[in-house]
Each structure stands twice: as C-alpha cells, then as structure tokens.
Structure 1
Amino acid sequence: MHLTVVCTADLGPAGLRALRRLLDTAFGPGDARGPDAGEPFDDDAFDHALGGVHVLAGPPCAPVGHAAVVTRRVLHDGVALRTGYVEAVAVDPAHRGGGLGGALMSEVGRIVRGGYRLGALGATERAARLYHRHGWRRWDGPLGALTPTGVVDTPDERGSVHVLPVDVPLDPARALVCDWRDGELW
C-alpha cells in the first residue's frame, strides 16, 4: 500500500476527522487484535499526535494506517536532545496482519534517522515486538519528566519506553527526562 508523509497543517479539517476516526477504531475497546487493544484513545492522546509529520497508509480522507513523528526535547546526561517522538501508530483492524505496521515503522525510522538525534516512543509489551523488529530498543534506565514543579521520576513507565539512538550515545545509568505535556507524559 502506498504511504504518504504529510504535516499536520496539510491534513485539513476533513483529514483530521478521518485520522481521529481511524485512531478511535484502532485503539477502541473490544478489539483484541490491536497492539493496544482496550486502551483509551482520548483527546490528550490525539493532541500528542499533532504538530509534526504523519505517515499515512491510504488517502488522507480515509487512512487505514498511521504513525506520527513529533518533535520533543528529551534530557539525557545534561543535554537536551532533539527527539522524534512516535505517536499514534495504528492500523485499521480490517488491514492488520499484512505488514502495514512494519511499512509505517520503516518510514518512521527513515524520518527519525534523517532529522533527529534520538527517537523515542511509549509502547505496550504487545506492540514492542513490532518496534524491536525495526531497531528500537527498550530503555532500561531511569525515567523522569520535567514538570511545572521540577523533574519528577516516572518509574511506572519503566519498560514501556523504547529508543532509537541516531547520533548520541545513551548511558542507561543516566535518566531520560521528557518534556511536560498534558495526559500521558511518555
């Protein structure tokens, strides 16, 4: 299936509505085939996927697959790393099992390697298999978030954050600290 890379601004209102329908369907409750089945896809999660670039499978007005790469700053060992953070990787349930998720992640990898120092994403254990096949590795070091009240540890996220280092060595003895946002921090 043909993939298109488009920035959020070029999706337009109809494209944004179509994207939200896909994500609600793909992450909806009761779909046992989805990597994040039963986890809610709320307004904060949708907001996290906006403002960067979208890899779409199918036409923007009726996508059947999606992954977003948005820019975030992740602190590591005193350096604020330009990070391509991957959001809202989803395939319509009717199109799963044919390699579309892998095709989306191949294009995501190209985008991250070409424009960022680090790639990062949060994943369920089930979805992690897809990411591992594309070079992403689970981060086993400490995690934190830069909040309005300072840096706080986020130990509950341990094991769910995956990274794709591009041009930066990562020391697992040192924390990765993400920037602040509403909803899920990682």
Structure 2
Amino acid sequence: MTEPTLHTEHTCRLARPALDEIHAFLDSAFEGGFSEEDWDHTLGGLHACVRDGSGLLAHGSVVQRRVVHAGRSRRIGYVEGVAVRADRRREGLGGQVMAALEEVVDGAYAFGALSASAAGAALYTGRGWTVWPGRIAVQGSHGVERLPEEEGSTYVQGVAGAVVPSDGTAARTLVFDWRDGDVL
C-alpha cells in the first residue's frame, strides 16, 4: 500500500472526474446527509485531499465568505466538507487536511470559521479552534436574522486581533452572508 499523500487544488483546477469523486466521497462519509447545497458550499475555494493507492481518504475545503462584526465586513475563510473515510479515521488524516486549510486561512483571510457536528468537534478543538462565544446571525431577505441553533457549534480560529476587541465590550455577534441550504 502506498503512503497517503496530501494534495491541494483550487476548484477551477479539478477535472470533472475528480469533482465527481469528491462529491461521492462526501456523500458516503456523511451517510447520505450531504445535500446538493452542501456540495455547492464546498466549491469555489481550495480543496485539500489525502489519497493513497486505494483512493480518496480525506477531504476538506476552504471558501471565502463575508461576515459582519462590530459594523465591519470581513473576508473570512470558511471550512467546508471535512471528512475522513470511515476505515481510516483516527490516523491523523483529518489533521493533515486541516493543517493545509489553516495555512490558507492564516495567509489569506481575517480569520477562519466552520460549523462542527458533535462528532467532529474534537478535531477542531484539538487544533485550537474555539466555539464563538457570542451570537450567530445571517443577513437574510428580511434583514439580520439570529440563528440560535448555530450558537455553540460555530467555531473560529485566528480571531484574537481580527474581531474580538481587547476590552471585550463590543457586540459579540457574527453576521454571515446568506446562502441557500444550511446557512452555516
């Protein structure tokens, strides 16, 4: 068996067969719970894939989103579609994917954000991601709409100087841009 290798590529550089493979992989990894909107959210940024001779072992992508905080719009890196093949979990493959995505977030964006399931949270907290301590909202068709169901499962990384004021007194709401399907 060949050693797993990490490869990063922007969506625009992935051929249709590679995109189809990633899509099928994510649908399988999320046990059919990966919607067409989820797939759309995964596209348009940088993909990190770990492969070996047996095929795709792990995937994640980081895409650009806009978040408003304390009256300022910020360009952030939003992590999407992180999954590891079921028979290869707990081998550090998710960490390899996240390291590649975090490099992009650190080098290109004000900070990083993601929405984590209870099962996936340990990967992120172990890498220094923290639950956003304030409110989560979206700029919807009728203005800003609070998303209390996303509070406690939205994680951020690299925000110390970017959005959290040193005195801690400013509003602690992140207002994400609208998108179809699950907003976060």
Q: Distance in 2 between matches of 1:114 and 1:25?
A: 31
The aligned counterpart of 2:85 is 92
SS at match of 1:152: strand
Within-5 A mapping of 1:80-119? 80-119=73-112
The aligned counterpart of 1:185 is 183
Q: Taking structure 2 as the reference length, what is the TM-score of the superposition?
A: 0.90
The aligned counterpart of 1:175 is 173
In the alignment, is the contact (CA less than 8 A) between 2:138 and 2:176 conserved in 1? yes
The aligned counterpart of 2:136 is 143
Q: Distance in 1 between matches of 2:128 and 2:108?
A: 17
Q: Taking structure 1 as the reference length, what is the TM-score of the superposition?
A: 0.89
The aligned counterpart of 2:14 is 11
Runs of 4+ in 1 over 6 A off after TM superposition: none
1:165 offset after TM fit, Å? Answer: 2.4
In the alignment, is the contact (CA less than 8 A) between 2:57 and 2:85 conserved in 1? yes
In the alignment, is the contact (CA less than 8 A) between 1:76 and 1:170 conserved in 2? no
In the alignment, is the contact (CA less than 8 A) between 2:7 and 2:49 conserved in 1? yes
Work out whether 1:159 is the aligned partner of 2:142: no
The aligned counterpart of 1:25 is 28
The aligned counterpart of 2:127 is 134
Q: Distance in 2 between matches of 1:110 and 1:67?
A: 13
1:63 offset after TM fit, Å? Answer: 1.9
SS at match of 2:31: coil
1:67 offset after TM fit, Å? Answer: 0.5
SS at match of 2:101: helix
Alignment size in residue pairs: 175
Q: Distance in 2 between matches of 1:130 and 1:148?
A: 34
1:174 offset after TM fit, Å? Answer: 2.1
**Residue type at the aligned position of 2:19:** L
Q: Distance in 1 between matches of 2:126 and 2:101?
A: 13
SS at match of 2:26: helix
Larger radius of gyration: 2
Stretches of structure 1 that go unaligned for 5 or more consecutive residues are 30-39
Identity of aligned residues (%): 39
**Residue type at the aligned position of 1:185:** V
In the alignment, is the contact (CA less than 8 A) between 1:7 and 1:53 conserved in 2? yes
The aligned counterpart of 1:66 is 59
Q: Deviations over 1:120-151 (max 9, x none)?
A: 00001221111011111001201100012211
Superposed CA RMSD in Å reads 1.6
